[in-house]
Amino acid sequence: MMTSQALGQYQYSWTARTQKIYESITSLRIPEARTLINQDKKGNASNLIYPLLESYADFYQLFLNENKDEYSRLYPTFEQRIQLLEDGPKQSPYHLYSIALVHLHKSLIAIRFNKNLEAALDFRKAFLLFKENKKAYPNFSPNDVYLGLMTTVIGTIPKGYQWMASLLGMSGKITEGNALVLKYIHSKDAFANQCRNEALFVYPYLVMNFEGNKKKTFEFLENTDYDFTNNHLHAYMATNLYLNNQQSQKALQIAYNINPANTYLDLPFWQLEIGYAYLNELKLDAAKNALQQFINRFKGQFYVKDAFEKLSWIAYIQGDQAKANAYRSNVLSKGNDITDADKQALQNAKKGTWPHPILLRARLLSDGGYQQQALTILAGKTSKDFDKDADKTEFAYRLGRIYDLAGQLDQAIPFYTSAIEKGANQPAYFAARAALQIGLIYEQKNNPTLAITFFNTCLEMKNHAFKNSLDQKAKTGIQRCLRK
């Protein structure tokens, strides 16, 4: 038990030294940061910024590497830190801010390890504390980064559940949340650098995933002073966004140019992304090598099924069906199915069928941004060249997607429409994704009424593997259109 004298000594002192440690953590130089924290705490035991920095370090390490042993050891420390921070001086803007941040860290780790009720309770506590702190200290701008992030996320809660959010004291709008984060990025006040690394990390994700604005996202990435070599967190974000948006070459370039020093957190993630990028170029041996390294080194569960599925595809394309089947059995038995990619891999493995090799090659090239090569593979084909209904649907969807990504929107729409007609009652995601894409095209053409029609068509599709993420994109699309 702390004595009242000890309690009286607590302070929140954000110094040049704590800023340096924060920057180490949010560049993923976490081993270096832990050494600095351990050195500094001895002479500064009363400074509660150090427990906050430890929370940051534990959060990134657990979130990115998902190590179960580390989770068992580190997860309980979030609650211990919250109790410690509650004893800090209440007249400081850092008091509620620090407690809220640790609740947010705890919430996000709980989601990662599938403790969803606990995650929701901590998320709510964090949001209400940030709101309270904003009211008490309106000029304490670091608050805006996390409040903005959470406001955007809450803004995507479906209408049918908003009553529940209101009951819990939470409300939010995408535009308001994103604007708060951007305002902080452009701020020049005394706190302008304090959580800049995280603001620069979350903002492109918010614009891409919640505003649905690819152009704005990549313009921001390319016109902002990022250091993708020395800041592995920013490199992680950029590699992920480029890879998921048909720019495999750019993703590969960033992944290969990161600073290789051993002061950084060891992330098997890099091998996963490199594997995906090579696969999208149909460099199959290089892809297999990288994906196998990820499988061997990663201690978590996310994307394991997806990685095994990609390995099975490589063996399948290379004509080794026995190896393809062996990898597919791992899809069934390893990892979890929390992410949409893992759900899809599991669904495909349970179905027991294999993609058509021509469609698979076209898909991989298109996903990498190689639209002309993908089109060449499909040249001269019609739906009659495919026996299965699912393949006919994918053929239509794939052509729509290739033309869409090549910027030929008017050519994309009829193929997408055909995919909806052919695949509306199939378990594959092609029809739902086609509906979403037509909605996005009409939104781009400033026809919000037609866009909403197709977003709703996407929402009406049931039981497909990417339902969560496609529904979320359709819902945010509807919200954007209703504001026009």
Q: Is residue 199 part of a domain?
A: yes
Considering the entire predicted model, what is its pTM?
0.86
Q: Is residue 133 part of a domain?
A: yes
Supply 186's token pair.
């452009």
Q: Could you tell me the residue range of the domain that residue 82 belongs to? A: 4-211
Beta bridge partners of 47: 11
Q: Is residue 389 part of a domain?
A: yes
Of 211, 238, 272, the residue that ends a domain is 211
CB 407 within 8 A of CB 440: no
Name 108's Cβ contacts closer than 8 Å, sequence gap at least 6. 59, 63, 119
CB 470 within 8 A of CB 448: no
How many other C-beta atoms can be found within 10 angstroms of the C-beta atom of residue 260?
7
Q: Is residue 221 part of a domain?
A: no
Q: One digit per residue, pLDDT tens: the chain, 484 residues?
A: 333 334 448 999 999 999 999 999 999 999 999 999 999 988 888 999 999 999 999 999 999 999 999 999 999 999 999 999 999 999 999 999 999 999 999 999 998 898 988 988 999 999 999 999 999 999 999 999 999 998 888 665 544 444 344 544 545 466 788 999 999 999 999 999 999 999 999 999 999 988 888 999 999 999 999 999 999 999 999 999 999 999 999 999 999 999 999 999 999 999 999 999 999 999 999 999 999 999 999 998 999 999 999 999 999 999 999 999 999 999 999 999 888 889 889 988 998 889 999 999 999 999 999 999 999 999 999 989 999 999 999 999 999 999 999 999 999 999 999 999 999 888 888 999 999 999 999 999 999 999 999 999 999 988 776 788 898 889 989 988 987 6
How far is C-alpha 465 from the chain's CA centre?
17
> Where do we find the tokens 């990662």?
112
- Round to whole Å and give the CA distance between 188 and 218: 24
Q: Is residue 369 part of a domain?
A: yes
Length of the chain: 484
How many distinct structural domains can be found in the chain? 2
- Round to whole Å and give the CA distance between 89 and 6: 12
Q: Is residue 266 part of a domain?
A: no
Supply 282's token pair.
């149909």
Of 211, 236, 255, the residue that ends a domain is 211
Task: Using DSSP, state whether 111 is helix, strand or coil.
Answer: helix
How many other C-beta atoms can be found within 10 angstroms of the C-beta atom of residue 439?
29
For residue 229, report the phi and psi dihedrals to the nearest 5 degrees.
-80, -50
How far is C-alpha 457 from the chain's CA centre?
25
Supply 336's token pair.
């979890």
The CATH number for 370's domain is: 1.25.40.10
Whole-angstrom distance between the N-terminal and C-terminal Cα of the chain? 57
Q: Is residue 361 part of a domain?
A: yes
Q: Is residue 43 part of a domain?
A: yes
Residues 86-124 as b/e (b if ≥16 CB within 10 A, e otherwise) read eebeeebbbbbbbbbbbbbbbbbbbbbbebeebbebbbb
Name 86's Cβ contacts closer than 8 Å, sequence gap at least 6. 99
- Round to whole Å and give the CA distance between 86 and 198: 24
Of 153, 182, 211, the residue that ends a domain is 211
What is the H or E stretch that residue 389 is in?
helix 389-405
